[in-house]
Amino acid sequence: MIQLESYSDEFEEEYWRAVKKKINISIQKRIVDSCIKFLPTNFFTGNKDEFFKSLILAPFDKLKKAEELIATQKISIMKKECFHKNDKKRSKIKKVYKTIYDSYTPIMKSQEKGISMRVRIVKNSRLTVCPYCNRDYINSRAGNVSGAQLDHFFSKAEFPLFAICLYNLVPVCGNCNRVKSAKTLAFASPFDKCINWEKDITFTYSGSTLKDLKIEIIAKGSLKNNIKSMGIINAYQIHGMEVLELIEKEQMYSISQKEELIKVLGPGNLSEIEIKKIIFGPEITKECMRTKPLGKMMSDLHKELKIYN
């Protein structure tokens, strides 16, 4: 439910250095020669020596278009290139692609200044809460102990080519990762820039007491699968108290009471926005949602109640 921005150029280079230490140039070239048969014709551009790097650092929109092409037109070619056919004596994934698949764990464990790659990914995403549910904290507890799991948005078992692509790895909470991994639906990635993250998913509520209050989430497109199939709508029903407290504050502090507060705290010294910050807390920005649990819900309710427009 929270949009993620691209990583910095510096971190992308840092990630690439970790990858090329685990996958030698010979394997890189073999993978490129193979995957070019089923990826979009414009997936690779420029210097061929940079093709594998451009795969690893491909933005999500490129990965998405590639997955759509494979699923609709090139699935048989991809399976022929990536997987053994009915061979129970060996791994299902062919050796060259299994190299990528198997390199995921060593890359995530690789350290720089005592900090593992898994922790560095979360840190550089600027997240402290899960982008799928926006409820659970995922901050690290040590240099090599991450509070997050990394969801392979496109399954590495089905698409081993994408197993270590940076923008296929989404830092999430354990609950969201476990629930999503058990599903085969088309979900929405936090890296997807085609989604209007402010308008395509909104929170509202019905009811007026803790007993009958229901938190509702209105979602469009593949975001519907995130909300329903990942159990997020159910998870939010325990937050009725937070919603009621906000509603009660809005009802309690009428215009006349706000004017009284100004008189008590100092006539002429407080603006309308400062009064709102005292009563309701600061306005929740897009950036805040990456670090504030329930940030998206509270932001939408602030707008619905006309606290912040």
28 and 174 fall within a common domain: yes
Indicate whether 244 and 127 sit together in one domain: no
Q: Tell me which of 66-70, 138-142, 299-303 is least confident.
A: 138-142
Residue 185 falls inside a structural domain: no
Q: Which residues pair with 205 in a beta bridge?
A: 215
Query: Which of the four pLDDT bands, split at 50, 70 and 90, describes residue 182?
Result: low
> Within a 13 Å sphere around the CA of 298, how many CA atoms are in the beta-carbon half?
20
Supply the DSSP symbol for 57.
Answer: T
C-alpha–C-alpha distance, residues 241 and 255, integer Å: 24
Lowest mean pLDDT segment, chosen from 146-160, 229-243, 253-267: 253-267
pLDDT band for 89, please (50, 70, 90 cuts): low
254, 139: one domain: no
C-alpha–C-alpha distance, residues 13 and 61, integer Å: 19
Q: Which of 114, 146, 180 is the last residue of a domain?
A: 180
For residue 296, pLDDT over 60 is answered with: yes
Q: How would residue 269 be classed by pLDDT, with cut points 50, 70 and 90?
A: low
Does residue 115 carry a pLDDT above 70?
yes
Considering the domain architecture, whether residues 283 and 252 belong to the same structural domain is answered as yes
Q: Which of 127, 149, 180 is the last residue of a domain?
A: 180
Q: Could you give the number of structural domains in the chain?
A: 2
Q: 18 and 152: one domain?
A: yes
Pick the closest to residue 2 from 148, 197, 234 (CA basis): 197
pLDDT at residue 253, rounded to an integer? 74
Same domain, 120 and 252: no
Q: What is the pLDDT of residue 278?
A: 80
Given pLDDT bands bounded at 50, 70 and 90, which one contains residue 276? Answer: confident
- Asked if 131 and 171 count as a contact pair (C-beta separation under 8 A), the reply is yes
Instruction: Answer yes or no: is 171 within a domain.
Output: yes
Least confident of 39-53, 105-119, 229-243, 272-286: 272-286
Distance CA 214, CA 230 (A): 18
In a domain, 270, yes or no: yes
pLDDT of residue 80: 94
Domain-ending residue, one of 147, 180, 213: 180
Statement to judge: residues 23 and 170 lie in one domain = yes
**Residue 30 domain-assigned (yes or no):** yes
What value does the mean pLDDT take over residues 133-153?
Answer: 85
Residue 293 within any structural domain of the chain: yes
Residue 93 DSSP SS3: strand
Taking only the tens place, the pLDDT of each residue in 190-249 is: 999 999 998 999 999 999 898 899 999 999 999 999 999 899 999 999 999 999 999 988
Percent of the chain topping pLDDT 90: 71
Q: Which residue has the higher pLDDT, 61 or 273?
A: 61
42 in the same domain as 170: yes
Q: In the numeric block, which tokens belong to residue 115? A: 């900090």
> In this structure, is residue 161 part of a structural domain?
yes
pTM of the model: 0.90
pLDDT band, residue 262 (cuts 50/70/90): low
Give the per-residue pLDDT at 87: 61
- pLDDT higher for 291 or 270? 291
Q: Examine the domain organization and report whether 124 and 243 are in the same domain.
A: no
Residue ranges of the alpha helices (H) in 83-220?
A: 95-109, 117-125, 174-181
- Let me know whether 66 and 166 are in one domain: yes
CA 93 to chain centre: 27
Instruction: Decide if 4 is inside a domain.
Output: no
In this prediction, residue 266 carries a pLDDT of 63
> What is the pLDDT at residue 95?
93
Cα 61 from Cα 82, distance rounded (Å): 22
Residue 268 lies in a domain: yes
The rounded distance, in Å, linking the Cα atoms of 218 and 203 is 6
Residue 217 to residue 238: CA distance in whole angstroms: 14
Q: Which residues pair with 145 in a beta bridge?
A: 142
Whether 243 and 273 share a structural domain: yes
**180 has pLDDT over 90:** no
Average pLDDT over residues 82-105: 85
CB-based contact 226:177 (threshold 8 Å): no
Q: What is the mean pLDDT of the chain?
A: 90
Range of the domain at 230: 201-304
In this structure, the answer to whether residues 127 and 24 fall within a common structural domain is yes
Can you give the pLDDT at residue 280?
85
**Predicted local distance difference test score (pLDDT) of residue 119:** 93
pLDDT band at 85 (very low <50, low <70, confident <90, very high): confident
Angle between helices 240-252 and 295-304 (to 10 degrees): 30
